[in-house]
Amino acid sequence: MAYCEFGIWLKMELVKRNMKQRELSVITGINEKVISDLMFGRNTKEAHKELIRKTLEKSA
């Protein structure tokens, strides 16, 4: 299965920060499975995407 547009962006951001999905999960409180689903387009919940964006912007 291929990454969706948000998933590609998120993967690049995680690589830049040398961060794993598990670490992002701890920081955001979003379940690791939900993060994976967001990356592959199986979940499109905008509230989760926005929380992830804001969290990563703060850590930049």
- Do residues 30 and 24 touch, judged by C-beta distance below 8 A? yes
Predicted confidence (pLDDT) at residue 9 exceeds the cutoff of 70: yes
Report the predicted TM-score, pTM, of the whole model to 2 decimal places. Answer: 0.90
pLDDT reported for residue 2: 83
Give residue limits of the domains in the chain: 5-58
Going by C-alpha positions, the residue among 53, 54, 24 that lies closest to residue 36 is: 24
Question: pLDDT tens across 12-54, in order?
Answer: 999 999 999 999 999 999 999 999 999 999 999 999 999 999 9
Predicted confidence (pLDDT) at residue 60 exceeds the cutoff of 80: no
Instruction: Specify the CATH number for 5-58; select among 1.10.3470, 3.40.50, 1.10.260, 1.20.120.
Output: 1.10.260
User: What are the angstrom distances between the C-alpha of 12 and each of 27, 53?
Assistant: 18, 12
Q: What sections of the chain are H helices per DSSP?
A: 5-16, 21-28, 32-39, 46-58
Binning pLDDT at 50, 70 and 90, where does residue 3 land?
confident
Return the structure tokens found at 17.
């920060």
